[in-house]
Amino acid sequence: MRVLYATRPYEKVPGSANALHEKWKKICNKSLATRNPGIMEFTKNIRGIIRDFDKLERLDIKKPRVGIVGEILVKFSPMANNHIVDLLEAFRAQPQTLLMPEIAEGSFAKKLYSTYLSYLPKEKASFALKMNVDARGSFTELLKTVSGGQFSVNVSKPGITKGEHWHHSKWEIFLVVSGKALIKMRKIGCKDTAEYTVSGDKLQAVYMLPGYTHSITNLSDTEKLITLMWANEPFDPNKPDTFFEVVKND
């Protein structure tokens, strides 16, 4: 665990340190399961662990060190320390991953995260987001959760229509916070279209229903349209559950 904790925060390839740890854990378990494990094999394994972790590609960066105080079980067993290392690493990576760990009400994780934030340096209280920009405007992921879906911000240039797709099991909520828009929906296989005119002057949330192709159009000729979007699950590029089909079915 010591080489894992010393390496994982600096790994160049996400997950590579954990994969190496799992590899050597299996080797060591198999070795210790024999009736008479020898000192030569033990020494060989220790040297192999150190060699492999030393060879793991790392980022040339500096990060603050955090010490876990306690006897050896508390320091190195996730079950004994309430997974404090995993939580701290997830908290620190949140601005990059946008993923908020599962934090139950009244839990150790909630108290730890509140404490973590209270010590956050002022320069870390603001972080940049990746804006996916094209000729139509931009789409920016804001926050992902384990079981509460994903929040994003969509910006559409004047007169632009976005969407024209549908989802099997994903559903969304659109909330226009600035500008005026026309949201259209049509059930796949049907002709009738539902239309909703919404604006930032009178906030109104609209469901994007599963099995309904939908679109959102900026009705302004001069102003950008800004929409807060929530989806019931984080976007998975390997399983996008997104299928193109125009709303208007002539």
User: 76-104, pLDDT tens digit by residue?
Assistant: 888 898 899 999 999 999 999 999 988 99
Q: How high is the mean pLDDT of the chain?
A: 93
Q: Please report the pLDDT score of residue 249 as a whole number.
A: 60
Query: Do residues 104 and 110 lie in contact, with contact meaning Cβ atoms separated by under 8 Å?
Result: yes
pLDDT at 36 over 80: no
Sign (positive/negative) of CA torsion 90, 91, 93, 96? positive
The arithmetic mean of pLDDT across residues 99-113, rounded, is 93
Percent of the chain beyond pLDDT 90? 78
User: 185-231, pLDDT tens digit by residue?
Assistant: 999 999 999 999 999 999 999 999 999 999 999 999 999 999 999 99
pLDDT tier, 250 (very low <50, low <70, confident <90, very high otherwise): low
Strand-pair category, 243-244 with 161-166: antiparallel
Rounded to whole angstroms, how far apart are CA atoms 185 and 207? 10
pLDDT at 241 over 90: yes
Model-level pTM? 0.81
- Cα first-last separation, the chain: 63
The arithmetic mean of pLDDT across residues 138-158, rounded, is 96
Q: Please report the pLDDT score of residue 69 as a whole number.
A: 86
Rounded to whole angstroms, how far apart are CA atoms 10 and 244? 40
